């Protein structure tokens, strides 16, 4: 993609645990390149065990060419991380519109 381009990344995440995800649960940036993204709270809560939730984050590609990866993860109401890392990888090419 081109440099400094806004895009939306979506993940569909299952609650594979034993408790509801409530208002305090969030998807947060944990490592790599954040691409300007911010944490997202659980919407349409509670998310019951066995149910799915879609998370969408608005990001922006960096200004320099290269390959960039950022990782996000769920946190509970006390901020403890759990579950798999969710990644996004892009390649910035200034010749791309």
Look up the CATH number of the domain holding residue 26.
2.60.40.10
Q: Decide if 66 is inside a domain.
A: yes
Q: Decide if 1 is inside a domain.
A: no
Domain residues for the domain of 32 are 6-92
Q: Decide if 80 is inside a domain.
A: yes
- Residue 61 near residue 2 (C-beta atoms within 8 A): yes
- Tally of domains in the chain: 1
C-alpha closest to that of 28 among 15, 20, 37, 19: 37
pTM, rounded to two decimals: 0.90
Proportion of the chain above pLDDT 90, given as a percent: 91
**Tens digits of residue pLDDT in 15-35:** 999 999 999 999 999 999 999
Q: Decide if 97 is inside a domain.
A: no
C-alpha closest to that of 49 among 74, 18, 23: 18
Report how far residue 53's alpha carbon sits from residue 45's, in angstroms, rounded to the nearest whole number.
Answer: 9
79 torsion bin: left (phi>0), alpha (psi -120 to 50), beta (else) = left
Q: Decide if 52 is inside a domain.
A: yes
């Amino acid at each position: 993609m081109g440099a400094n381009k806004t895009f939306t990344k979506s993940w569909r995440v299952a609650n594979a645990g034993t408790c509801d995800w409530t208002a305090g649960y969030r998807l947060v940036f944990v490592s790599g390149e954040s691409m300007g993204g911010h944490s997202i709270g659980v919407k349409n809560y509670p998310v019951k065990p066995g149910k799915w939730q879609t998370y969408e984050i608005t990001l922006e590609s960096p200004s320099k060419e290269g390959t960039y990866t950022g990782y996000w993860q769920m946190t509970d109401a006390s901020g403890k991380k759990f579950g798999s890392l969710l990644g996004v990888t892009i390649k910035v090419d200034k010749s791309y519109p």
